[in-house]
Chain A
Amino acid sequence: MITFSNVSLIYPNSERTIIENASFSVTEGEFVLLMGHTGAGKSSVLRLINGLVPHHTGGILSGEISVAGRSTRLMKPGELADVVGIVGQNPMNGFVSDLVEDEIAFGLETLGVPSDVMRKRVEEVLDLLALVQLRRRQISELSGGEQQRVAIAAALVTNPKVLLLDEPTSALDPIAAEEVLSILHRLVHDLGLTVIVAEHRLERVIQFVDRIILVHGDGTLELGSTTEILHTSPIAPPLVELAKSLKLPSIPVSIREFRKMAPHIENVIDEYESPTVNKSLNPILAMKNVFASYRDAERTYALSEINLEVYPGEIVALMGRNGAGKTTLLKSAVGQAPIIQGEIDIAGRNPASLTDQELITYVGYVPQEPSDLLYGHSVKEECDFADRDNSVPEGTTLNLYSNLMKIPDINAHPRDISEGQRLGLALSIILSASPKLVILDEPTRGLDYEAKKVLVANLKRIAHEQNRSVFISTHDVELVADVADRVIFLADGEVIANGTTRQVLTASPAFAPQVAKALPHTHWLTVAEVERQIHESR
């Protein structure tokens, strides 16, 4: 179905070849995962398949790529529209209509499909992706998972042979991600569709895919079966790491496979030391009976009756489905989302009464898009601005940054550094005001495992060594398992669970990390815990 022969790609003004002399082929009806570090070139490989690279983005391509017998060198992406469908990283940016139904029909309209056939196709796709209820809704009002489904429907409606998806689950909560992936799985099985997915969150996808293309980042690609690649790959989901540390004979790709081959592990310990948080201290953040509404016209509550506290030195994770009110809650803590009732205290003061300058010495907020904070021409300039804004000695921010991670070239433009580095930069700018509470909204979107490890280490240091509090909203269960002391679970604007990470994560199967699912009776959450336990019992 897809054949790469001796393909090399280089972008103009770039010193690095993205792909060098790659040859592989993907057969019809395969489900293939593209994995690799951020910036390794996963998106480029994906976009090469439908010709967006180099026709749309520029770049020098040598070799031959053929998709369903058509050469992408000779044909532009538009001419491949009937055989290849693509869903980009931010589907919202690619939508051309307001209504779900119109969006889905768009591809058929451009291909000139007669309107009676079109009706049938739209109807089929609506059924296939369970969008019938949403057909007349405004796309902008849908949740992230629903939008992702609309984008897939819009790409599928023309009956393509190949479907390409760039990080389809990165913005989704675990349940929505599961939904999207099982739909893809069904399409592969029922329709014989060839699906290629680029994704960082391996724990979500590996159980569904047949083969993996590992993009090494030095121009080489490696294609192999899931177990082959995961056996040697430097990046692996927790389940695979767990299998490796238990020295299992082969690599399991699903929880079910793991349970079949795993040795029986007794419930070794019953009591776990709960994180030492001194509740006699005054909380940094306290919310009492807080209500907030979406819009004045509709009296729907984005938040209702929220009561919570965040104490010094603890890391609290805020979880919940897309649209549960997580961002609103975080924003209300810095006075950026108006509340209609209740009280919010930041170190005993009302955030709305503080000036911005005062506020940032109490709370640092890293928004969902860290680049919203950045506007300098270089990393150095960003750091200098932060020093000046917070009137700290020159070099403080840069110093903080280099303590967080290996920093990029300080003359590089903040747009050109990797996602992880950008997050680190935003975090160090926030830290330069030495806030008592650091809030991060969905920080792991687009981060690979390595960048996530760095983030985890940093957050732990900020909280446990520097005795600040960290309040973090995320869909990433594995991150929560690694880093959080306590989890607050929101559903439809209400707190439905508030307890230690172990209590909350093991209580709900959908939001459980892989280790907890694989070893359900042990109450372990992370591979590190299992390793420590094995080590101690010897």
Chain B
Amino acid sequence: MTTVHTRTTTRVFHPLTWWLWAALLCSTLLFANNRFISIAVITSTLLVAFTLKRSSPWSRTFDWALRFAFIAFSIRMLIALLIGVPMPGRTLFVLPQITLPELFVGIRVGGPVTTQRLLSGFDEAILLVSLILLFATANALSNPHSLLRILPRRFYGIGLASVISSSVAPQAASGIERVRKARRLRGQKSSGLRSWRGIALPVLEDSLERSIDLAASLESRGYGYFPNPTRYRPELWKMKDTLAISGAAYSLVLITITSSTGLLIPLLVSLFALTPVFVS
């Protein structure tokens, strides 16, 4: 019998790599709280996602995350435009103002829109978008199931919960397509509120059912019950895993030590965040 230790299929990174990469970049973003850094991270995330994601069921979530990010951005900008506390800055234009009762002192709806107000809204919106995209990239590039295999089995409950929650999104994404197509066969338009309810319900039920099946399968195969699990073929932490996350780690360090506001820093962060593409 020949012993086969290597994987012939392309497992590019360790299952944890992407989550660590995303966590480090999230910290970078929150520390920096700077729109240029946010834009830099969004650009690299998009590049990473589109160059590395394959046509696997879990990578389809990314397209949905993009839509979600766009909606989040629009809503935040709309709020920035309409509601807010008076802020200084150059007034761009004035919206008709609604007078609120005494109770909401300091808050107004409508009124003058200043550059300051728009910019602070934009900063928050863009931060939101970058966080969503980071999470989506990690989700799209790592297989939830292989994550399950490397988590310590002692934390049975956590492992199970994390797998179920991380596999719901991909399942829902593929479910939506299927149900949408089926729904059209009932002669319904696939837009509008009622149709969304019609799609969401079966998709959620379906995802839930799958997750319950998965949990039952894990349970009946003894997952988490036996003290010393072994590995058939270990998921090795390779040099390129270290390289991939060290890029993200550098950007975090860079942000914490420097107070420079030039464009060099975002450029560097963007490059560091891209390391997985260079090493893969």
Which positions in A face B, CB cutoff 8 Å? Answer: 50, 52, 55-56, 76-82, 84-86, 88, 90, 93-99, 101-102, 105-115, 118-120, 122-123, 136, 138, 140, 154-155, 158, 295, 334, 336, 356-357, 359-360, 364-365, 367, 369, 371-375, 386, 389-390, 415, 429-430, 433
Q: Taking A336-B181, A389-B186 as contacts, is the C-beta distance between A96 and B218 under 8 angstroms?
A: yes
Q: Would A52 and B220 count as touching, CB distance under 8 A? A: yes
Q: Distance (Å) between the CB of A111 and the closest chain B CB?
A: 5
B178 contacts chain A at the CB level, 8 A cutoff:
yes
Contacts of B55 in A (CB 8 A): 295
B223 contacts chain A at the CB level, 8 A cutoff:
yes
B225 contacts chain A at the CB level, 8 A cutoff:
yes
Contacts of B186 in A (CB 8 A): 360, 373, 386, 389, 429-430
6 inter-chain pairs at a CB distance below 8 angstroms, sorted by A residue, are A88-B216, A94-B213, A95-B145, A113-B230, A356-B189, A367-B185
Which positions in B face A, CB cutoff 8 Å? Answer: 1, 3, 8-9, 55, 57, 143, 145-146, 148-149, 153, 178-179, 181-189, 197-199, 201-202, 205, 209-210, 213-233
Among all A-B residue pairs, the 3 with the closest Cβ atoms:
A81-B222, A94-B217, A105-B232
Contacts of B228 in A (CB 8 A): 112
CA distance A415 to B206 in the complex (A): 11
Q: Would B185 and A334 count as touching, CB distance under 8 A? A: yes
Q: Distance (Å) between the CB of A93 and the closest chain B CB?
A: 4
Q: Taking A81-B221, A98-B145, A336-B181 as contacts, is the C-beta distance between A115 and B189 under 8 angstroms?
A: no
Contacts of B1 in A (CB 8 A): 119-120, 123
Contacts of A105 in B (CB 8 A): 232-233
Q: Would A107 and B185 count as touching, CB distance under 8 A? A: no
User: Per a CB cutoff under 8 Å, which of B57, B145, B187 touches A390?
Assistant: B187
Q: Would B197 and A375 count as touching, CB distance under 8 A? A: yes
Q: Distance (Å) between the CB of B183 and the closest chain A CB?
A: 7
Contacts of A99 in B (CB 8 A): 9
Max count, chain A CB within 10 A of own CB: residue among B143, B198, B199: B198
Further 13 A-B residue pairs, CB within 8 A, beyond A78-B222, A109-B149: A52-B216, A55-B219, A81-B225, A93-B209, A94-B213, A98-B145, A107-B221, A109-B231, A110-B223, A360-B185, A364-B185, A375-B197, A430-B185
CA distance A107 to B219 in the complex (A): 11
Contacts of B210 in A (CB 8 A): 93
User: Per a CB cutoff under 8 Å, which of A106, A372, A374, A386 touches B178?
Assistant: A372
Contacts of B179 in A (CB 8 A): 372
Q: Would B225 and A79 count as touching, CB distance under 8 A? A: yes
